[in-house]
């Protein structure tokens, strides 16, 4: 793995902790960092079941490192955006579900990274913005595809038209984050969730990561067929048979337990 100093990666049992570690620049994402994320998410160790990404310092991420932006010509700019797309697809469609723990600024490219994750836990201090509108540029890390699916097109357009800053509470109501915690409690919550996710059958996690988004992106006819196919594949695994038998024999937890 090619891990830059601005990224810390630690495996603890079945969980992988990925920390963006560039607090002096508010975790602004330069090329080294984004390529480091690619390296991490393309070489997840086999025994890992869930990854957690979070930021060091006062902010999750201030987005793209703007000091690198001014040095690119048009073709380099296109390649750069396509590189972000490639890396974020590796997070979204990698081998394990990824939980983002957010605090402070979650803006621009930072918001795009969080959007590519499977679950978002926001601490009270989190705020969201797309300053691209004010900087005279446009999102280039996949936000226009992923963010409207989470919060709706009108809200994303508003954020860019007006520079609106969304609070942690608003982020929950809009559907961007799924959990809101008090300050410094996000990681704890993410670990609790990651442990639950790690206990799922592999086929279920696979279906949620790789098939559900494709169903959502397709038409009803194709979507329903894909659902039938993956439902049949998942329920014919030995793991599913065992879990169903456990429930019928009273050995499995009831809903909510
Ligand atoms: C940076 C960056 C950055 C901070 N690139 N260097 N993103 C933005 O437009 C957000 C710009 N950043 C901010 O609005 C603020 O920095 C924050 C609200 C996130 C944090 O404020 P604060 O008061 O804690 O920090 P600061 O004093 O503004 O910044 C500390 C240092 O980090 C300072 O450098 P220094 O050398 O003067 O100490 C800042 O210049 C530096 N810094 N943010 C480079 N973003 C795939 S396309 C995605 C397109 C985008 O993401 S556009 C949105 C970019």
pLDDT in tens, 35-51: 999 999 999 999 999 99
Q: In what order do the strands lie in the sheet with 15-20?
A: 7-12, 15-20, 50-55, 98-102, 119-123, 179-181
- What's the gap in Å between 25 CA and the centre of ligand 1? 6
Please list, in sequence order, all residues whose beta carbon lies within 8 angstroms of the beta carbon of residue 155, skipping any fewer than 6 positions away: 174
Contact 154, 114 (CB under 8 A): no
- What's the gap in Å between 77 CA and the centre of ligand 1? 19
- What's the gap in Å between 255 CA and the centre of ligand 1? 44
Task: Say what the pLDDT of residue 101 is.
Answer: 99
Sign of CA dihedral 16, 21, 26, 32: negative
62 CA: nearest ligand 1 atom: 19
Counting ligand 1 atoms within 8 A of each CB, the residue from 30, 62, 65 with the most, and so the one to mutate, is 62
Mean pLDDT of the chain: 96
Model confidence band, residue 205 (pLDDT cutoffs 50, 70, 90): very high
Parallel, antiparallel, or unpaired for β 119-123 and 98-102? parallel
User: Using CB atoms within 10 A of its CB, is residue 55 exposed (0-12), middle (13-18) or buried (19+)?
Assistant: buried
132 CA: nearest ligand 1 atom: 52
Task: Say what the pLDDT of residue 49 is.
Answer: 98
47 tagged catalytic:
no
Contact 102, 124 (CB under 8 A): no
Task: Say what the pLDDT of residue 256 is.
Answer: 86
Protein residues with CB under 6 Å of any ligand 1 atom = 25-26, 28, 58-59, 62-67, 84, 105, 107-109, 112, 131-132, 135, 139-141
Task: Say what the pLDDT of residue 72 is.
Answer: 84
Give me the mean pLDDT over the 150-177 stretch.
98
Give me the mean pLDDT over the 58-76 stretch.
91
- What's the gap in Å between 121 CA and the centre of ligand 1? 22
* Lowest mean per-residue pLDDT among 41-45, 55-59, 196-200, 237-241: 237-241
142 CA: nearest ligand 1 atom: 46
Q: Report the nearest-CA residue for atom 43 of ligand 1.
A: 62
- What's the gap in Å between 23 CA and the centre of ligand 1? 10
In this predicted structure, the answer to whether residue 71 has a pLDDT above a threshold of 80 is no
Give me the mean pLDDT over the 214-231 stretch.
98
Task: Say what the pLDDT of residue 8 is.
Answer: 98
239 tagged catalytic:
no
Residue-by-residue DSSP string for 193-215: HHHHHHTS-HHHHHIIIIIHHHH
> Which of 10, 68, 112, 169 is flagged as catalytic?
112
Contact 205, 97 (CB under 8 A): yes
Model pTM score:
0.97
Parallel, antiparallel, or unpaired for β 15-20 and 7-12? antiparallel
In this predicted structure, the answer to whether residue 66 has a pLDDT above a threshold of 80 is yes
Give me the mean pLDDT over the 160-177 stretch.
98
Tens of pLDDT along 80-135?
999 999 999 999 999 999 999 999 999 999 999 999 999 999 999 999 999 999 99
Closest CA to 170 of 134, 130, 122, 136: 122
The better pLDDT of the pair 222, 1 is held by 222
Q: In what order do the strands lie in the sheet with 105-107?
A: 105-107, 127-129, 166-167
CA distance 61 to 153: 23
Q: At what angle do helices 143-151 and 153-162 cross, to 10 degrees?
A: 120
> Which of 10, 47, 76, 132 is flagged as catalytic?
132
């Amino acid at each position: 793995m090619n891990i830059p100093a601005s990224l810390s990666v630690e495996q603890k049992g079945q969980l992988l902790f990925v920390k963006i570690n560039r607090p002096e620049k508010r975790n602004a994402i330069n090329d080294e960092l984004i390529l480091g994320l690619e390296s991490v998410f393309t070489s997840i160790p086999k025994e890992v079941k869930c990854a957690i990404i979070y930021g060091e310092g006062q902010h999750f991420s201030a987005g793209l490192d703007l000091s690198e932006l001014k040095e690119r010509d048009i073709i380099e700019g296109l390649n750069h955006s396509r590189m972000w797309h490639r890396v974020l697809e590796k997070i979204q469609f990698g081998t394990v579900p990824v939980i983002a723990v957010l605090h402070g600024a979650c803006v621009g490219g930072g918001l795009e990274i969080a959007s590519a994750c499977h679950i978002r836990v926001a601490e009270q201090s989190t705020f969201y913005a797309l300053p691209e509108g004010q900087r005279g540029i446009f999102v280039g890390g996949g936000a226009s595809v992923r963010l409207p699916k989470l919060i709706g097109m009108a809200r994303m357009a508003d954020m860019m038209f007006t520079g609106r800053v969304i609070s942690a509470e608003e982020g929950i109501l809009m559907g961007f984050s799924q959990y809101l915690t008090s300050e410094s409690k996000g990681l704890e919550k993410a670990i609790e969730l990651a442990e639950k996710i790690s206990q799922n059958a592999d086929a279920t996690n696979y279906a949620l990561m790789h098939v559900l988004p494709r169903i959502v992106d397709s038409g009803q006819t194709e979507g329903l067929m894909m659902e039938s196919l993956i439902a049949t594949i998942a329920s014919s695994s030995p793991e599913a048979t065992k879990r169903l038998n456990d429930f019928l024999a009273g050995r499995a937890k009831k809903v909510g337990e």
